[in-house]
Structure 1
């Protein structure tokens, strides 16, 4: 077996984990999930999930990964026995499917970034009679989408093939700070826009009635978004923690990562919604297309929109790449640990497989809905649920012992963490999983109708 790598610095690990969390999940997915959930009502539910479930869950993944020093499959086997290799396999599957369509979406953002160099977004829309959705469907599918999907996957493979220290750690030390600086600048600019106040009201003023009346839709959506944006339930944090030394304070690292991730997601909302309302755009009509359609229309209507569009779409590309390398690392580490394959061969081989699986998404958006719904509503929540069962019921003592390394005796605090995982968190995850499956059945029905029509 090849010698296992480790992070050169704590900063490298933090930035890599943050980079995994703050990509498309925060800037592409969070705004449309918030819009679909009614704005501030979704934000309240999402923040509650992050605080009450996200933190205990990220600690659970940390202790599994660091103790086993293995990929998700090997780590779960080390904790729970051979039967858990199938659960670990789900994490590998998530990494494969998620990155397959994630890469295509990142290619779309590259295309929108390049469109800014070709002229103003207003002039582009004029070519489509002002229809931003028609523009999206015209430029986001077909051979150009395939080419950009190829370019993005090649970049991702190249970084992961270079290794933990020379590839991933070096890349995130540049990308994550740049992403934060750019988002802060965009948020400051958005604050100056006329009409931005309506966007802040939509985003930041929840109605209690909306939360209680729509909780069955908000709960699975908020759960899926929380796990998606924190990279939980997909094996990323297990994999990244497997490269940590025993003297690291996992609780401190978890708070830092969640703080950065939540702050950046919140910051993305402070950019997107003021821009929408300043551009007289309704945010709740686009679904997965919200960012592409809404922001393009907004940049077409706002002074300086061409430059600001370039900065915005470029920022998303940076975030997408920082997340993509974490997903590919999950699958690559499995090939290295379990199959003994050299890193560059593993990264290239699984990268090509993932690339091929993503090709249908370059053909029709229905495949994006099928892939994303399966990951978001079903597999992420199921993966997180299995981790909670393993830590809370199968191996709680081993988990507590590992958590206390680098911290010291936690006493009743550790027991409170275990019991929070054992009962309330598992109950919430079971309910979220059930509601998510019910929701995904509608997606499959729509896909079946699409197949019959083609």
Structure 2
């Protein structure tokens, strides 16, 4: 069957931005930033995006556009032997991430509905924690997990142009408008100055003392939010039907994604400080418990809460469709399965894998620690080695399409991929594996013992 393509350059850019802008920016970024020291984490994260994330996006772009295939087919066409398994690593990573991503996205849909029907007036710290427990486990969580996956399946089934491209042209501008409006309101709060100081002022002493936790956290966050290491950018670039300046597109995508992540901090931290809540609460509950408590305390909190949680739900949807598209594109390219049954079959399988997360949050930690700290980073490391050392000439030539003669810049990019990216990502992978082993032998072992 004929392979679909983007109808416009803007469609491709917005789709890639939509993939990058999701729960990674709005759910994970605030509580990771709070846990890792505010400004100390922010400066490392920004450096990681600029020095590692941007060149890494180009790595995925050149593979996708050159082969016009899904990640499995793309690596198989260019490589051989053991390298063929790299494409499967991307598929597995996306499968795991989307399974719990959908559950968490369902929480945001539920919180939006709560704001519409009941508001957050009773959500003091204890009530907010109790509400979080009710929403995140049991029938509520399972139901909204199903609703969210149904939305994702529907968009993917509609196709690249009529589904993904049409959807992101609506969703991404809406996300930006809502975030900027929330940021403007947060600026008026009395707590804004204190919050911005915490968020923007790096404590270098804290950074030096805690670099072993900050570095893998920044690496994982950068890969997660830029949709790297799971084949999304390979897949999206494979739908490019013409020569384009991939470096310019990558710069726009990374820039918009980072801008939105930073704006989220300008929104969330003033809200927390206004309610007298310390940032950096433990784990995934932080943004829900803290913000519902904050919305109960600040003027127009109910409206702000509805807008905020709805905005995150939209952002999550724009990212989730990109992950499912990676999995669906494999069935379409490799097995010639029609798009609608492919989207339905994969979507149902992802839903089933996510069911344990609706039962106990230990499974969220199990999935997220593996995907974020190990699989995403491992995929990016292996792809950098593949492009930098196995197919550098193909990659350099493909990057030059739409740009012209790169000269020494092409060689410089290859060497950045070969050495700095590999070294930094390798260190991050080691630290991520250590953290994951600690989780398995600590929190998970205690949970199993209690059963």
Q: Please, what TM-score do these two structures have when normalized by structure 2?
A: 0.98
Provide the residue aligned with 2:283 in structure 1.
Answer: 287
Q: How does 1:24-35 map to 2 (within 5 A)?
A: 24-35=23-34
In 1: Cα distance, 2:322 partner to 2:363 partner: 23
Q: Are 2:449 and 1:452 aligned?
A: yes
Provide the residue aligned with 2:94 in structure 1.
Answer: 95
In 1: Cα distance, 2:42 partner to 2:397 partner: 35
Deviations, residues 359-404 of structure 1 (Å, cap 9, x unaligned) = 0000011000000000000000000001100110000000001000
Provide the residue aligned with 1:16 in structure 2.
Answer: 15
Would you say the 8 A contact 1:286–1:293 is kept in 2?
no
Q: How does 1:181-196 map to 2 (within 5 A)?
A: 181-196=177-192
In 2: Cα distance, 1:148 partner to 1:220 partner: 31
Deviates more, 1:207-216 or 1:31-40: 207-216
Provide the residue aligned with 2:47 in structure 1.
Answer: 48
Would you say the 8 A contact 1:276–1:298 is kept in 2?
yes
Moved over 6 A (4+): none
Q: How does 1:308-323 map to 2 (within 5 A)?
A: 308-323=304-319
Deviations, residues 2-38 of structure 1 (Å, cap 9, x unaligned) = 2110000001000000000011010001111111111
Would you say the 8 A contact 1:73–1:84 is kept in 2?
no
Deviation at 1:79, TM superposition (A): 1.7
Q: Are 2:384 and 1:388 aligned?
A: yes
In 2: Cα distance, 1:210 partner to 1:75 partner: 43
Helix, strand or coil at the partner of 2:427: helix
Q: Are 2:253 and 1:232 aligned?
A: no
Q: Are 2:71 and 1:75 aligned?
A: no
Helix, strand or coil at the partner of 1:356: helix
In 1: Cα distance, 2:15 partner to 2:155 partner: 12
Helix, strand or coil at the partner of 2:121: helix
In 1: Cα distance, 2:284 partner to 2:85 partner: 31
Deviates more, 1:409-418 or 1:440-449: 440-449
Helix, strand or coil at the partner of 1:285: coil
Instruction: From 273, 277, 286, give the equivalent of 1:277.
Output: 273
Helix, strand or coil at the partner of 1:296: helix
Would you say the 8 A contact 1:227–1:233 is kept in 2?
yes
Where do 5+ consecutive residues of structure 2 fail to align?
none
In 2: Cα distance, 1:161 partner to 1:111 partner: 24
Would you say the 8 A contact 2:134–2:140 is kept in 1?
no
Q: Please, what TM-score do these two structures have when normalized by structure 1?
A: 0.98
Helix, strand or coil at the partner of 2:362: helix
Provide the residue aligned with 1:217 in structure 2.
Answer: 213
Would you say the 8 A contact 2:191–2:270 is kept in 1?
yes
Q: Are 2:147 and 1:151 aligned?
A: yes
In 2: Cα distance, 1:56 partner to 1:136 partner: 39
Q: Are 2:168 and 1:172 aligned?
A: yes
Helix, strand or coil at the partner of 1:121: coil
Helix, strand or coil at the partner of 1:122: coil
Provide the residue aligned with 1:66 in structure 2.
Answer: 65
In 2: Cα distance, 1:390 partner to 1:437 partner: 21
Would you say the 8 A contact 2:168–2:318 is kept in 1?
yes
Deviation at 1:413, TM superposition (A): 0.4
In 1: Cα distance, 2:228 partner to 2:136 partner: 29
Would you say the 8 A contact 2:56–2:228 is kept in 1?
yes
Would you say the 8 A contact 2:156–2:325 is kept in 1?
yes
Helix, strand or coil at the partner of 1:131: helix
Q: How many aligned residue pairs are there?
A: 450
Helix, strand or coil at the partner of 2:337: coil
Where do 5+ consecutive residues of structure 1 fail to align?
none
Deviation at 1:169, TM superposition (A): 0.3
Q: Are 2:424 and 1:428 aligned?
A: yes
Would you say the 8 A contact 2:183–2:267 is kept in 1?
yes
